[in-house]
């Protein structure tokens, strides 16, 4: 296969669209091969390697997804952007899910086209950025759960698709977002984290999109940019996105879909080049079912989900995390944990995950009087892992108890132990057990424990 530098493959069955894109690319100093069908495109891809592929979604002999799948299947490492019909959210999401780099809507905005092309070429040029910047607390560990997270982070860094990061509080969702940003072509541009739950509702629109001078009382000095403008060219990370009120969700949906924002008090929309990542400790699907989160926005931001495992799911990583955190806290000679401290950590359920582990070690470092940290220095609470057996007896069953009865009894005791430990708080009990609240609710109903 012949390598062609700075050459773009354009696939569209409308000759005027092909000519418009080819002319725009030529003014950017780029050459283009233009074809009008899937068959012609696949033939060109077999002959040479392109820096970018721009394809219409609907073609005479197939659709743009066929081209995306072909490039993914044969590992051609060519970013693909699809051109979708105006406001066709379903097509855009479908393309991103099968591996498209990005999308652009018809009628084609030349400014958005230029921005997309530059991002794709930067991605190819900065392919080594991820390897140079790998590391960080969230990638520490040898567990299979974290190996899967690290592999997915590396893949997500090559895409422009919106990402939804799920997981419990303290499991490292923002750290994962920063890692994706650091390994992406946007690494040199801003990473703007926003805690959606910390912004007063009456200020949300102006904080997100900015405002014009005189737009409202207090906006008397000058125009101000919002989070979208601050993250221009980089990544906007919306933490606790489930806390956004519905009226702001509507405006956020349009900004993500159209890649344009309108400042408060302005009549003009301005294009923004921002990658969106969202996170919440809540179950976003449940929020949709409850009517407190828009379903269309859910599908727009949840193109790809990255689930961060709880610390209970990766307990084998605790020693490496302890060593890393202790070195960061002390900077010099690191106090060691004695056997009693390790035993306490091994039995602890870490409802606050890695963030709680860091707090525990920071407190213990301040309290320890020598070179060793003991169990007393940790000052752990009562959140121990529940005993899966029955108090005062083993797990063995009597001759009349079936295997299914035995498993139900063990599960019932584990759940009851967690509920007793958390004083009936089901959300906390689910965390202790390492399952979702929805899963706990299902088990309570199945075991007649409601």
Residue 357: enclosing H or E segment and its boundaries? Answer: helix 353-367
Tens digits of per-residue pLDDT, 165-197? 999 988 999 999 999 999 888 888 999 999 998
The two three-digit tokens of residue 233, written as one number: 């060219």
Look at residue 324 in the predicted model and tell me its pLDDT.
Answer: 86
d(CA 168, CA 87): 34
Look at residue 395 in the predicted model and tell me its pLDDT.
Answer: 47
The share of the chain scoring above pLDDT 90, in percent, equals 31
* 382 band by pLDDT with thresholds 50, 70 and 90: low
Using only the alpha carbons of the chain, give its radius of gyration. 26
Report yes or no: 326 and 335 within 8 Å, Cβ to Cβ.
yes
Report yes or no: 179 and 151 within 8 Å, Cβ to Cβ.
no
Look at residue 280 in the predicted model and tell me its pLDDT.
Answer: 92
Nearest 5°: CA angle at 124, between 55 and 43? 40
* 132 band by pLDDT with thresholds 50, 70 and 90: very low
Tens digits of per-residue pLDDT, 146-169? 889 998 998 898 888 899 999 998
Look at residue 10 in the predicted model and tell me its pLDDT.
Answer: 95
pLDDT at 5 over 80: no
Look at residue 389 in the predicted model and tell me its pLDDT.
Answer: 45
List the one residue out of 378, 405, 169 whose CA is nearest residue 279: 169
Tens digits of per-residue pLDDT, 232-251? 999 999 999 999 999 999 99
Look at residue 306 in the predicted model and tell me its pLDDT.
Answer: 93
Residue with tokens 């996170």: 279
Q: Which residues pair with 277 in a beta bridge?
A: 163, 237
List the one residue out of 279, 305, 281, 320 whose CA is nearest residue 148: 305
Look at residue 98 in the predicted model and tell me its pLDDT.
Answer: 79
Residue ranges with strand state E in 258-378: 260-262, 269-271, 275-280, 304-307, 336-337, 372-373
Query: What average pLDDT does the chain have?
Result: 83
d(CA 342, CA 326): 14
The share of the chain scoring above pLDDT 70, in percent, equals 87
Tens digits of per-residue pLDDT, 66-93? 998 888 777 567 888 898 875 566 777 7
Describe the chain by its helix, strand, coil percentages, rounded to 5: 50, 15, 35
d(CA 320, CA 318): 6
- In sequence order, the 6+-apart residues with CB closer than 8 A to the CB of 267 are none
Enumerate domains of the chain plus CATH numbers.
Answer: 2-125 (3.40.50.2300), 144-307 (3.40.50.300), 311-378 (1.10.8.60), 387-450 (1.10.10.60)
CB atoms closer than 10 angstroms to residue 203: 12
pLDDT at 392 over 70: no
d(CA 122, CA 113): 14
pLDDT at 129 over 80: no
Our CA dihedral for 114, 118, 121, 127, rounded to 10 degrees, sits at: -150
DSSP β-ladder status, 260-262 and 269-271 = antiparallel
Look at residue 130 in the predicted model and tell me its pLDDT.
Answer: 41
- Interhelix angle 318-330/353-367, rounded to 10 degrees, is 50
Look at residue 428 in the predicted model and tell me its pLDDT.
Answer: 80
Look at residue 121 in the predicted model and tell me its pLDDT.
Answer: 80
* 228 band by pLDDT with thresholds 50, 70 and 90: very high
Look at residue 436 in the predicted model and tell me its pLDDT.
Answer: 73
Tens digits of per-residue pLDDT, 15-45? 999 999 999 999 998 999 999 999 999 999 8
Q: Judge residue 90's burial from the number of C-beta atoms within 10 Å of its C-beta, 0-12 exposed, 13-18 middle, 19 or more buried.
A: exposed
Look at residue 432 in the predicted model and tell me its pLDDT.
Answer: 78
d(CA 318, CA 141): 8
List the one residue out of 82, 60, 83, 86 whose CA is nearest residue 71: 82
Tens digits of per-residue pLDDT, 353-365? 999 999 999 989 8
**Which of the two residues, 432 and 265, has the higher pLDDT score?**
265
Tens digits of per-residue pLDDT, 291-345? 999 999 999 998 889 999 999 899 889 998 998 888 888 876 778 889 989 988 9
Angstrom distances, CA of residue 197 to CA of 54, 200, 281: 38, 8, 12
Look at residue 2 in the predicted model and tell me its pLDDT.
Answer: 54
Look at residue 391 in the predicted model and tell me its pLDDT.
Answer: 40
List the one residue out of 123, 122, 60, 58 whose CA is nearest residue 91: 58
d(CA 299, CA 394): 47
Angstrom distances, CA of residue 63 to CA of 15, 20, 53, 68: 17, 20, 14, 9
Question: Mean pLDDT over residues 385-397, rounded?
Answer: 46
Phi first, then psi, for residue 8 (nearest 5°) are: -115, 140
């Amino acid at each position: 296969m012949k390598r062609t530098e700075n050459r773009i493959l354009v696939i569209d069955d409308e000759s005027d669209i092909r000519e418009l894109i080819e002319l725009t690319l030529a003014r950017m100093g780029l050459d283009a091969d233009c074809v009008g069908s899937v068959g012609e495109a696949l033939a060109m891809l077999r002959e040479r390697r392109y820096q970018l592929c721009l394809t219409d979604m609907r073609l005479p002999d197939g659709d743009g997804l066929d081209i995306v799948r072909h490039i993914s299947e044969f590992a051609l490492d060519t970013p693909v952007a699809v051109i979708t019909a105006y406001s066709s959210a379903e097509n855009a999401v479908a393309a991103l899910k099968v591996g498209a780099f990005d999308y652009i809507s018809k009628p084609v905005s030349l400014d958005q086209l230029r921005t997309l092309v530059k991002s794709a070429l930067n991605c190819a040029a900065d392919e080594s950025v991820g390897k140079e910047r790998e590391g960080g607390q969230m990638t520490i560990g040898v567990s299979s759960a974290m190996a899967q997270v690290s592999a997915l982070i590396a893949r997500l860094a090559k895409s422009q698709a919106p990402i939804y990061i799920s997981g419990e509080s303290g499991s490292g969702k923002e750290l994962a977002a920063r890692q994706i940003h650091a390994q992406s072509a946007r690494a040199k541009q801003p990473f703007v984290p926003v805690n959606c739950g910390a912004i007063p509702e009456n200020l949300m629109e102006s904080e997100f999109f900015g405002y014009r001078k005189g737009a409202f009382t207090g906006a008397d000095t000058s125009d101000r940019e919002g989070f979208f403008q601050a993250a221009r060219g980089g990544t906007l990370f919306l933490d606790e996105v489930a806390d956004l009120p519905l009226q702001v969700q509507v405006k956020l949906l349009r900004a993500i879909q159209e890649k344009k924002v309108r400042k408060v008090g302005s009549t003009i929309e301005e294009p923004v080049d921002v990658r969106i990542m969202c996170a919440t400790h809540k179950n976003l699907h449940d929020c949709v079912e409850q009517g407190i989160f828009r379903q269309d926005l859910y599908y727009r931001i949840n193109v790809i989900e990255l689930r961060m495992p709880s610390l209970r799911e990766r307990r084998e990583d605790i020693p490496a995390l302890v060593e890393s955190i202790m070195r960061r806290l002390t900077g010099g000679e690191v106090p060691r944990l004695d056997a009693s401290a390790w035993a306490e950590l091994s039995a602890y359920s870490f409802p606050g995950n890695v963030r709680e582990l860091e707090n525990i070690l920071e407190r213990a470092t301040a309290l320890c009087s020598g070179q060793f940290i003991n169990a007393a220095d940790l000052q752990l609470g009562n959140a121990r892992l529940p005993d899966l057996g029955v108090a005062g007896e083993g797990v063995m069953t009597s001759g009349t108890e079936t295997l299914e009865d035995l498993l139900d009894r063990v599960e019932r005791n584990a759940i009851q132990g967690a509920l007793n430990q958390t004083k009936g708080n089901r959300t906390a009990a689910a965390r202790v057990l390492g399952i979702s609240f929805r899963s706990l609710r299902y088990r309570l109903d199945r075991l007649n424990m409601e």
